[in-house]
Structure 1
Amino acid sequence: MPLPKSLRRPVRRASSSSATGQSQRKRCRICNNLDPRGHASSVHLDEAGKEPKTSLSLVIDVLTLSKTKDVGNRGCRFCNALTQALDAFFGGWRGSAVRVNVDIKEKSTIKASIDGEHWKGEFIEMYAGSTSRAPWPTLGAAHHIPVNSGSDDTFNFIRRCIQGCLANPKHKACRLPCKSSISAPKRLLDVGRATSPIRLIDTQGKTFQYAALSHCWGSAPQLTTTKQNWAKMAVNISFHALPPLFQDAVIITRQLGLRYIWIDSLCIIQNSLRDWETESSKMGSIYQNSYITISATNSGDGSSRCLAERQKPVKIPYQNTTKKELALRARKLFDHHPEGSPDGGPAKPIGPLSHRAWALQEVVLSTRVLHYTATELLFECKTSYRCECSPERKTWPTTPSLIPKAVASKDTNAVWDAWQRIVEKYSTRNLTVPEDKLPAISGIASKIRKATHSDYIAGLWKGNLASDMLWSTVAFEMPHVDRFALDTWRAPSFSWASLDAAVTYNQLDEEERETFVPTITLLAASVVPKGLNALGTVSDVSITIRGPITQATVCSEQSQGQWAYMLMIKGTSTISMVPDCTLVEMEYEDGDGDSNKTVRRAQKGDLLRDFRVPVLCLSVARYDNLLAGLVLGMSKLRPKTWERVGTFAAGTEAMQNAKEEEMTLV
């Protein structure tokens, strides 16, 4: 019998706000239960052709996370899983005063990284085991990555990537020119089969299908070809006499069904300057015409293999609310994916080779590249990109596509932009031999010259001279060993190649580009190559130009270990100057024998102190009511010539008293 209405208790229904509040109380305030939903910062993504998904990016203080209690002490099971994953791969993270960045996306893996130089480029991926249900509903599974880079699975992945490139009609840029137009390297390493001798062959101008190796020489003993051992190397090279890295390169070549490979230290006679200059100048065509380039990204020298064991994933203990153990995995990867959208830029393989200057053009000019990194294999060609953690073909830009896409656009400005982006990347890399600065990018310069028909001036182009002259150094701080001029002249002061410093160019937007007008005129250019490579080492370079010049005074001051330089031009306010490196005052004698003061780039050992000396300001270009130009000091190299010491940007009033003059820069 039902109770009378007078005795019934009213039923309270939770309002939507109170229900939300109850849900929020169940969520960890630190990690949000590693769930992208229900957080104030949750973002809902509408993916084309797929169900909407939610993503969440969290920034967690390391000290807060490291003090998280374990589950047995009523701690958050999700924070506990995250800390165990960090413990497995990031030793010492608990004592660091940095932040943990956690990116969570519905039905995807969770990526966690730590701020700080020690862990730069590394992240941990947490994911569900593929053979059981996910530990929690929003967590996704990950693609399998073999634990050995020489496994059958990895080689099958390589073959699928290559065949996908060769068979896809959209990969027009990846098609090599007809065989009759391909210039083969002078020598190749014939690796034959496992039972056949390995030997050097002279190609005698014939065409061959071959692989090419891109690698770090390092400081380990290196097997090289010389005038003395060439005849012996042409008969037989013992497999066991090859450095471990070269052995791996031979194995990869054979596994891909190829018979020949080009390795610089073996295919160029190392104690013959003529042979080195001749063959190194062909670097562009050697890598472009190779069937595949093997990039030993994670190998620091020839003793470090690229076919090696990788760090295995770990199993993270995790129990749900019913105490059931579920499969939760974590592994370490490198952050190689382009950022954001398809316009985010090329893949970023990380390893010792990614810091070497010579290796950049070897990738830029190649048709297809295999990057052997510490955690997985990356494949890129002139059209697409794939990796073992994300094997689906991507349409992101690739490094080998930079020049072909610019050339295909039939827009010369796109080619100039591609060159400047490459120089920016190149300037951050290291060289064992400083004199190789121009030779190590000459292969790329050859492609740019072919596309633009422009004259090359030691790293700059006649057809884009004003823009090319306006490079500037990045992150200038003092004192720093890399912020000094070279002891030995290598390139003219107006070229970025004259310094060992990272440089950048002004990236103009569309409106600024339309208003960009050079204010200089090139009257003459003299480039004297030092060797056989016309785009390589130079012994003397100068340009004579006409442009607006005004007198100024440059002042230096030091504050908290940093040097700053300011320009004072009569009739205007003080202008900030971007110096090429640390500067010092210098005395020189003019043509009448009088002593004058100027400024020059400082070298190691110079006494650094405050100064106030006269300089010249040369307006190079005008855009959007701004002027950009060079700061010049008198040169000691040649009478009545000038050297660049920095750049400036100012309003047009700064040059209102400027006069058109002719001058020579060295």
Structure 2
Amino acid sequence: MLSPTSAFESQVRLLSRIVLEAFGQPATNHNDLGRIKTNEYCQRQCNGCSEICNLIRWGEVQRRQDNLFEGCSSPRMIHHSFLELDYCARVSGCDTCRTFRRAFLLEQITGRDVESLANPDLQSPVYAVLSIESSGDRLLLTSTPTQKPSFSATVALNHEPRHLADDPTKGGARLITDFQELRRVVQDCHHNHECSSRYRWSRRNPTWLLEIKDSNHVRLVRGPDNLVDYVVLSYSWGDPAEMPATEWARIKGAGTKTKDGVPVPERLNLFPAWHLPETMQDAIRITKNLGFSYLWIDNVCIPKGTNWDTEASLMHEVYGNAAFTLVASSSSKATDRMIKDRLAWSHRSKAVKLRGKWLHNTQVPLDKIRLESPVARRSWTLQEERLSPRVLYWAEQRWYWSCPESQVAELEELGHITPQNTSLMRRSPQTFLELCRTGDIEQLHEEWLDIVEAYTPRDLVEPRDRFLAIAGLAVRFYSAKAEAGGSFISEEYLAGLWRDNFARHLAWSVAKGADSRQNLQHIAPSWSWASLPLRMETNTKHTFKSSEHFKFISAVEEKIDSAKAMTSPNGAQHDSLSRGRAMEERGRGVKAVDVEGRFRRFVSENAKQVSWDAIEWRRGKRVGFNFGAFPGQDLFARQDSDGRIISKDAHSGEIVGQLDYVVPDEAPKSPFTPYVPCGGEKEIMCLELGESAMLLLIKNPTWGQQESYRRVGVAIGHENRKGFFYGCETRTVRLA
């Protein structure tokens, strides 16, 4: 899913490393980099940009010597700071610097990023590196200050000029969004695509909607009986720890109060939009400018006192039925403006040519906008995006549109999604909905694992909402399987995992052992990823083949009112929606499961503990293990810093496991310890999940009359020990 962004990030890291290694070395002999002259193409060019000509000349030499050459040049400084480059572009009129300035600005997703780019305290020299690749040459630009953040951008070099017919500055500088172009894109999807007929869930509106009378006045109304075209806002509330208490109170205060179960008259009557935080105000303006009269905002349209659990399980309807979801990618918090002057377009564009090469700005990948904006750090917004057939991403300098049939960036079509262009579909935010529609059960399970991996690094204001924030996705997942298999399906939702592929779902791992003091095992059982602390990187995607010895037996769940759970708000029972909601609600209450599988100790009783450094082997970038100093010995070792643990019998291969938690610096006051204490490694048991996957378990002190175990880690990919469970007993084990 991250391939376009990952490729970009790897080049940024390479560029930053090259520049940092070059710091302290003179990159240019020019003292006055901003001095302007006219080049052979009658274009204004500063002394700093003459260094670009030297880079291109270097590339020509490499190509003459080897026409298959690929690599990067050494860095050359083109300006002493971004502010100097900005001045050169705006005031001196250097055509090349204008292209570079726009490249830096287009890379910034939020308003805060743009402000940081021009922050005098974060200035440092701007360097350029020429990257020669088979796919085309590019200039990699970076401004690497001594403190974060660092800024990077990319400019492509072509043999032909870029077509500029749709340039936004054709008639002069344009700082304000042209809604006419965006309206065309939205209407084209509405009239010419099959998104509505394929993905719209039902004809029900949300219970409450904001009705927009004009750009300055709104009121809260009940959703009409017949489905209307409404827009949904997906945004980040912000981190209360990073703002004044009064600002956070204003954001929370935007919620609709109720009296006797009904919204207060102040919301039911027309009220000024400026009573709401700035992101919401601008969402109202955008919605109105695009020709829509209704907007749904969670904090406003779910009145206080509403059954939050019920509303959370209906999110697949709220987002699935919307005309589109507006994602406030440019806002770091709800009080940030979305509609602002867009500085990247503040001057006329011009085709720039240096030493026979045309320079033009590259398109920032949609994945970068999706995955690096502040919205992507909020847990609730994951399902908001993946349950939405159409999404409008509003970044600081331009908008992006994504639907199941096309992806469009402002002024540039990214491509239509067709059977011949399936790579776009794999990158599409709508992949989950497409798999639900087609009923590809195997791929649907893989998509759920991808959802988990995208969900666990995100943050929540209230940790108790860990399951509620993906309840809509769980209901949609179950409904897809119910519609494919009818009323009689075996699928169960089990604390964020699914029964039909339970062994595969159990085999998640952490990237690094967590701080056990932040665990959420009071919310979810130890075997569920939901028991991990918030903001944890996890890995769910690896080659997996289930063991024929593993079997799911039953779940232990908290009792709920099943009659209530099986009834939808309008009284209908037993349809796929009400069954899905009941399944999701039951799944949240599952605390333990009984499974069957091959079972044994992870570390032999006779094993000797050795230090990690005594067995780790490094040769440059290669890392492995060397047990030559301990011939004929059973041993184990533990890496305290990241939670890795290794077990090796005397004459067999080693197994490397990953513990979920590291040992904290201070012992907890509670006797409950989700981590393996030092000296407790020989108590670890393991349960076979697949041919190269096992759970690492510790026995619980008590669980009524039933012996039970809690998860402490996992071992994946033990190719050196394929026969580890050979001849072991098969046992029924309760996981709690």
TM-score by length of 2: 0.66
Structure 1, unaligned stretches of length 5 or more? 1-25, 44-55, 68-76, 128-135, 339-345, 588-597
Task: Please give the residue correspondences for 1:628-643 in structure 2 after superposition, counting only pairs within 5 Å.
Answer: 628-636=693-701, 638-639=703-704, 640-643=707-710
Instruction: Give the 3-state SS of the residue equivalent to 1:654 in structure 2.
Output: coil
Instruction: Give the 3-state SS of the residue equivalent to 2:558 in structure 1.
Output: strand
How far 1:189 sits from its partner (Å)?
0.7
The aligned counterpart of 1:617 is 686
One of 306, 322, 328 as aligned partner of 2:338: 306
Q: Which residue type is aligned with residue 281 of structure 1?
A: S
Percent identity (aligned): 19
The aligned counterpart of 1:593 is none
CA contact (8 A) 1:35 1:104 kept: no
One of 527, 531, 554 as aligned partner of 1:494: 527
The aligned counterpart of 1:363 is 385
One of 473, 487, 498 as aligned partner of 1:461: 498
In structure 2, relative to structure 1, the CA distance for the partners of 1:570 and 1:528 (3 Å cut) is farther
Q: Structure 2: how far apart are the matches of 1:507 and 1:655?
A: 20
Asked if residue 528 in structure 1 is aligned to residue 558 in structure 2, the reply is yes
Instruction: Give the 3-state SS of the residue equivalent to 2:595 in structure 1.
Output: strand
The aligned counterpart of 1:644 is 711
| Number of residues of Structure 1 aligned to a counterpart in Structure 2 | 567
In structure 2, relative to structure 1, the CA distance for the partners of 1:381 and 1:420 (3 Å cut) is same
CA contact (8 A) 1:379 1:387 kept: yes
How far 1:186 sits from its partner (Å)?
0.7
One of 208, 212, 215 as aligned partner of 2:232: 212
In structure 2, relative to structure 1, the CA distance for the partners of 1:659 and 1:31 (3 Å cut) is farther
One of 303, 306, 309 as aligned partner of 1:269: 303
The aligned counterpart of 1:592 is none
Stretch deviating more after TM superposition (556-565 or 240-249): 556-565
CA contact (8 A) 1:185 1:279 kept: no
Task: Please give the residue correspondences for 1:327-476 in structure 2 after superposition, counting only pairs within 5 Å.
Answer: 335-337=364-366, 348=370, 350-388=372-410, 390-395=412-417, 396-397=424-425, 398-453=427-482, 454-474=491-511, 476=512
The aligned counterpart of 1:190 is 211
How far 1:494 sits from its partner (Å)?
1.0
Deviations 1:490-534 (A, max 9, x none): 1111111111312112333xxxx6x54453111111233889765
CA contact (8 A) 2:160 2:357 kept: no
How far 1:148 sits from its partner (Å)?
6.6
How far 1:549 sits from its partner (Å)?
0.1
The aligned counterpart of 2:728 is 658
Instruction: Give the 3-state SS of the residue equivalent to 2:602 in structure 1.
Output: strand
In structure 2, relative to structure 1, the CA distance for the partners of 1:36 and 1:230 (3 Å cut) is farther
One of 258, 264, 274 as aligned partner of 1:227: 258
TM-score by length of 1: 0.73
Q: Which residue type is aligned with residue 372 of structure 1?
A: W
Asked if residue 278 in structure 1 is aligned to residue 310 in structure 2, the reply is yes
Instruction: Give the 3-state SS of the residue equivalent to 1:312 in structure 2.
Output: helix
Task: Please give the residue correspondences for 1:30-41 in structure 2 after superposition, counting only pairs within 5 Å.
Answer: 30-32=55-57, 38=63
Asked if residue 289 in structure 1 is aligned to residue 289 in structure 2, the reply is no
In structure 2, relative to structure 1, the CA distance for the partners of 1:368 and 1:578 (3 Å cut) is same
Task: Please give the residue correspondences for 1:64-79 in structure 2 after superposition, counting only pairs within 5 Å.
Answer: none
CA contact (8 A) 2:104 2:153 kept: no
Q: Structure 2: how far apart are the matches of 1:630 and 1:387?
A: 45
CA contact (8 A) 2:102 2:344 kept: no
One of 523, 532, 551 as aligned partner of 2:601: 551
CA contact (8 A) 1:620 1:628 kept: yes
How far 1:330 sits from its partner (Å)?
7.3
Instruction: Give the 3-state SS of the residue equivalent to 1:192 in structure 2.
Output: strand
Q: Structure 1: how far apart are the matches of 2:74 and 2:123?
A: 11
Q: Structure 2: how far apart are the matches of 1:368 and 1:317?
A: 34
How far 1:115 sits from its partner (Å)?
8.5
In structure 2, relative to structure 1, the CA distance for the partners of 1:29 and 1:156 (3 Å cut) is same
Stretch deviating more after TM superposition (650-659 or 280-289): 650-659
Asked if residue 201 in structure 1 is aligned to residue 207 in structure 2, the reply is no
Asked if residue 254 in structure 1 is aligned to residue 288 in structure 2, the reply is yes
CA contact (8 A) 1:586 1:600 kept: no
Q: CA RMSD in A?
A: 4.5
In structure 2, relative to structure 1, the CA distance for the partners of 1:494 and 1:80 (3 Å cut) is same
Q: Structure 2: how far apart are the matches of 1:192 and 1:277?
A: 31
Structure 2, unaligned stretches of length 5 or more? 1-50, 81-93, 106-113, 241-246, 418-423, 483-490, 566-580, 610-635
Deviations 1:148-189 (A, max 9, x none): 7852x2x12221222222233xx434426789x422111011
How far 1:636 sits from its partner (Å)?
4.5
Deviations 1:554-609 (A, max 9, x none): 9686669544322356874432111112147999xxxxxxxxxx995349xxxx75
In structure 2, relative to structure 1, the CA distance for the partners of 1:468 and 1:82 (3 Å cut) is same
In structure 2, relative to structure 1, the CA distance for the partners of 1:599 and 1:645 (3 Å cut) is farther
Larger radius of gyration: 1
CA contact (8 A) 1:191 1:254 kept: yes
Q: Structure 1: how far apart are the matches of 2:155 and 2:52?
A: 22
CA contact (8 A) 1:585 1:611 kept: no
Q: Which residue type is aligned with residue 158 of structure 1?
A: L
Instruction: Give the 3-state SS of the residue equivalent to 2:592 in structure 1.
Output: strand
How far 1:282 sits from its partner (Å)?
1.0
Q: Structure 1: how far apart are the matches of 2:104 and 2:296?
A: 42
